[in-house]
Amino acid sequence: MSNKSLEQLWKKGTDFLGTDHAILGGAMSWISERNLVSTISNAGCFGVIACGAMSVDMLRTEIIETQKMTKKPFGVNLITMHPDLDELVDLCGELEVTHIVLAGGLPKTATIKRAKEFNMKVICFSPAALLAKKIIKSGADAIVIEGSEAGGHIGPVSTSVLAQEIIPYVNAEYPDIPVFVAGGIARGETIASYLQMGASGVQLGTAFVCTDECIAHENFKKLFIKSKAKDATISVQIDPDLPVIPVRAIENKATIEFENLQRTVSEEYRSGDLDKMEAQLKIERFWAGALRNAVIDGDVEKGSVMAGQSVGMVKSVQPVSEVVDALISQANEYLEK
């Protein structure tokens, strides 16, 4: 049987995204802003703004400025625990954003419904087959399965296991729902292999950090280039009563500071000075500040250098267009063999 072409394999994904290539840019706080997002979209892929902890007014500015820089489709990643989530969804609808990505927890059916009232397509993350079913029944239009090899906040299961568990299930039960694979992807051969398994596309974050158009500090990029896969480690949870989503980042002094912060917050929680929600939010806020210190200010010792394990394959700074061209070339060569 002859191989399908790349265009055929990810047609469901490109049709859904409205792009030439079914490659989403992973939403990375402080990094996935107007410059990188618009460039990824202009290169034929799908840029995604990382809203993170932005206020409504800040996100409004970011979307409008991105729209000035590209006429191609792009999306907005919203964190489900954001206190102004409903207002952020409304803003995206008002500004005619075509797709939103809901991350950071299981989205409420009401949130998905609210987005779809604006005719926005909703993409959600699924760490297991049963959750994929629940999310799809709640109205999600597509899912992303992100393995533990990814950078930033991660789940406990590897990309390859999630792909084997979820792709066949969703394709059999919900054939119209695109499945995008994320975590540890840095080459076109890997993209093609997941497409051959039945995925509709992929998501890459780490691969786009060391690009000319990325605003990350030079120190941040230099550390990416010299790091190996084993250097991107997972944060440790100190208090079993204060569960935190594990974060994968390049090990440095911030790793130790995060452990110390957890101990301090745990003591405040157990003494009654903080309730559970306040304690967890205080822990989570560490990453927003520490990440900014590294990405914007260049403090890669005390700041958080979030990176996936594919960081070991990042060798130089180059334009986004060259990264995309290399991925497409590698995928095509793999399929032609």
Could you report the per-residue pLDDT of 58-114, keeping only the tens digit for each?
999 999 999 999 999 999 999 998 999 999 999 999 999 999 999 988 999 999 999
Distance linking the first and last C-alpha atoms of the chain = 13
| CA pair distance 75, 72, nearest whole angstrom | 10
User: In the numeric block, which tokens belong to residue 137?
Assistant: 């029944």
In b/e form, how buried is each residue of 31-68, taking b as 16+ CB within 10 angstroms? bbbbbbbbbbbbbbbbbbbbbbbbeeeebbebbeebee
Band (200; pLDDT cuts 50, 70, 90): very high
Dihedral (CA of 204, 139, 15, 44) sign = negative
Could you report the per-residue pLDDT of 296-312, keeping only the tens digit for each?
999 999 999 999 999 99
Helix pair 129-137, 159-173: axis angle to 10 deg: 40
Listed by start position, the domains of the chain span 6-215+311-336, 228-306
**CB–CB of 57/81 below 8 Å?**
no
**CB–CB of 277/297 below 8 Å?**
no
pLDDT above 60: residue 1 = no
The pLDDT of residue 96 is 98
- What is the pLDDT of the chain when averaged over all its residues? 95
Laid out side by side, the sheet with 47-50 consists of 23-25, 201-204, 179-182, 142-146, 121-125, 99-103, 74-79, 47-50
Q: Look up the pTM and report it.
A: 0.94
Average pLDDT over residues 125-131: 89
| CA pair distance 313, 316, nearest whole angstrom | 9
- What is 6-215+311-336's CATH topology? TIM Barrel (3.20.20)
What is the dihedral angle through the alpha carbons of 95, 96, 99, 103, rounded to the nearest 10 degrees?
20
Average pLDDT over residues 197-201: 98
**CB–CB of 328/212 below 8 Å?**
no
| CA pair distance 211, 318, nearest whole angstrom | 5
The pLDDT of residue 251 is 94
